[in-house]
């Protein structure tokens, strides 16, 4: 019963983070009108790590060298994923970017199989493939021809896969709060270095404007809350299972886009929703593979 309760708690945490990340797409779409992408990433992650200090001072002050080393890896994956995705989308379409980023869902079961020498189960692989088909319906309008932006976006998916798998491993050994703090700080500082070298600082952003509220969403909800929830959830969840649940992020993003940006809903998008939801139900009802 305790294990089932922990699994349910982890699933709820992942679903909440997927919901918040889905809303983030609408916020980022507007935020890019007043702030360059790498500055957005730098500010959101650095501010999130700063906010964590007074809230979780007791845990953070006891951070170990091993937690710092683990956090360095996680922060590098965080930076790599967001950077490659941001740069890649400039050379490809938004739909292809969303689809190619989401391929981490199908990557994780096979990476797990390779690293752990443990077959994730037919249902896990089938769910990942069905989920990817759903993403294709949601995102792809034309043919899938690859360019440099597509390759970068696939690289982002690899980074996100590494991040999820690393947290599955490290969150069971170390304090998730400390891992999140180092991850945010490292990801923010790397983003800051790249932003300072390649982008102009947005000097026209001022307190009280709507942009500040968008930035607060990205800092408090999209970064701080989502990563803390996700990192605690990975103590009690498996990477392949969690990835399927996180795939609902695209469904939430589409719903928020329809509500707030008045984006059109089509038969293809409805079909994509159905496939993704079916994949989620399959992985939820299918149980976990035996150890």
pTM: 0.83
Which one, of 252, 222, 201, lies nearest residue 28 by Cα?
222
Instruction: Say how far apart CA 287 and CA 118 lie, in whole Å.
Output: 16
What's the gap between Cα 63 and its chain centre? 24
Q: What is the pLDDT along the chain (291 residues), one digit of tens a residue?
A: 445 688 889 999 999 998 998 888 778 777 777 788 889 899 999 999 999 999 999 999 999 999 999 999 999 999 999 889 878 877 776 666 767 777 888 888 888 888 878 787 788 888 888 988 887 887 666 555 667 878 888 899 899 999 999 988 998 899 999 999 999 999 999 999 999 999 888 766 555 555 778 888 999 999 999 999 998 998 888 888 888 888 888 778 778 877 887 777 778 778 888 888 888 888 776 555 444
Q: Which two tokens stand for residue 173?
A: 């050994």
DSSP annotation of 290: P
* Alpha-carbon distances, residue 238 vs 36, 85, 120, 173, 289 (angstroms): 35, 25, 10, 15, 10
Return the domain boundaries, the chain: 2-285
């Amino acid at each position: 019963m305790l294990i089932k309760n922990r699994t349910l708690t982890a699933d709820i945490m992942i679903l909440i983070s997927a919901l918040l990340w889905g809303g983030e797409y609408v916020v980022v779409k507007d935020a890019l009108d007043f702030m360059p992408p790498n500055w957005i990433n730098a500010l959101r992650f650095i501010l999130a790590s700063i906010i964590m200090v007074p809230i979780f001072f007791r845990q953070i002050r006891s951070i170990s060298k091993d937690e710092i080393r683990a956090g360095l890896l996680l922060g590098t994956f965080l930076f790599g994923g967001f950077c490659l995705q941001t740069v890649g989308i400039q050379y490809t379409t938004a739909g292809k970017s969303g689809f190619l980023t989401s391929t981490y869902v199908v990557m994780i079961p096979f990476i797990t199989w390779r690293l752990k020498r443990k077959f994730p189960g037919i249902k896990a692989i089938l769910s990942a493939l069905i989920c990817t088909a759903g993403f294709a319906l949601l995102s792809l309008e034309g043919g899938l021809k690859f360019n440099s932006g597509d390759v970068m976006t696939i690289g982002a998916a690899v980074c996100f896969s590494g991040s999820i798998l690393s947290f599955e491993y490290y969150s069971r050994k170390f304090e998730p709060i400390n891992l999140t703090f180092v991850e945010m700080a490292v990801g923010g500082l790397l983003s800051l270095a790249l932003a300072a070298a390649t982008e102009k600082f947005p000097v026209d952003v001022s307190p009280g404007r709507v942009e500040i509220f968008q930035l607060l969403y990205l800092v408090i909800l999209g970064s701080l809350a989502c990563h803390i929830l996700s990192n605690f959830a990975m103590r009690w969840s498996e990477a392949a299972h969690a990835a399927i649940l996180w795939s609902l992020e695209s469904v939430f993003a589409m719903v928020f886009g329809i509500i707030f940006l008045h984006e059109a809903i089509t038969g293809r998008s409805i079909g994509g929703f159905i496939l993704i939801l079916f994949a989620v139900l399959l992985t939820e009802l299918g149980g976990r593979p035996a150890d």
